[in-house]
Amino acid sequence: MQHSLLNGVAAATAHRDRDELDRAVVALLLQFIEPQAITLLRVVADELVPRIEERVRMSRDGSPAPQQIGMAAWRQYALGGDVVHCEGTGGLLATIFPIQGASGVAGMLVIENATPLPDRTTELVRGVLRIVRNHLALLDYGEQDSLTGLLNRKRFDGHFEKLRQRMSTAQGSDAATLLAGGDPQPQEPSWLALIDIDNFKSINDGFGHLFGDEVLLLISQLMRRSFHGADQLFRFGGEEFIVILEHASEAGALLALERLRTAIAKYPFPQVGSVTVSIGYTRINSQDIPTLCLARADAALYYAKGQGRNNVRNSEELPVGELNADFKCGSVDLF
């Protein structure tokens, strides 16, 4: 059994995609422990308040039933960092294992069974989770910006493709629902915003790169406070940042971006004083590739700079001639 388990752990940690890794780990433990169900959850910082998000749930009988333990219980049981036994769903017993991250509990693994888990099994699960934690730390090292801690360009490409695939799948489901005579549920769009620090070169030249780096770090912190935990934040290089907002109305996207712009404009940056940003954003289409979506956002950003900086512009609202019509449809042939 130990040999097979080690092979299973090796196969699971071969994944570089976090969603695939989550599914592989849950499937592995379900196979070797044979409980009634296993759920993996992640802790998401949503406006500075931790929120629990279910990522994977698998059961022995294939039941998709969601967890019924309330948020207050998750806080009480797992955010403290200890393995906890409590009452689960349907009279089952739940054992909650914290998944440690770089700054505390990053997630939880919940194993539900009719009988308590033996101590030996508990230690086995803890050992597997330690290996997964080390693997995630290596992934973070390669996919996070070393200065700000935001995601880097490498992670952006993978996230954008997964988002595009989800959008295509949702559109396919809507089409099937229409053919069946049903009424598809409306889907709120997703948006890509390109953020650029105004006159950043003058900050580096006038105050030195040390203060320039501090501005980058503080802006990344303001970004985390301004957006929901589900929104993806990237440092794209130099003084440019990217935000991907999923499932947001046009008004909601503009409100969030304006909130960030205002927060930065009002913030008293040490030594430097006032700093502003210009923002261009665009709707993400299911047929988009990153270069085309970025081109539209960049055109809106360029227009924002030309309008005096320190403002937010939508690519779909640019004057005629500011954005090539081919970019708007997201289907231009580059070759």
Residue 109's nearest CA partner among 177, 184, 58 is 58
What gap in Å lies between CA 200 and CA 63, rounded to an integer? 54
Residues 6+ positions from 164 with CB-CB distance below 8 Å: 284, 286, 287, 288
Q: What single-letter DSSP state applies at residue 315?
A: G
Catalytic annotation, residues: 239
Distance CA 176, CA 189 (A): 19
Give the torsion through C-alpha atoms of 174, 180, 183, 185, to 10 deg.
-30
Largest CA distance in the chain: 69
Picking from 113, 128, 168, 150, the residue whose alpha carbon sits closest to that of residue 5 is: 128
Strand pairing of 232-237 and 191-197?
unpaired
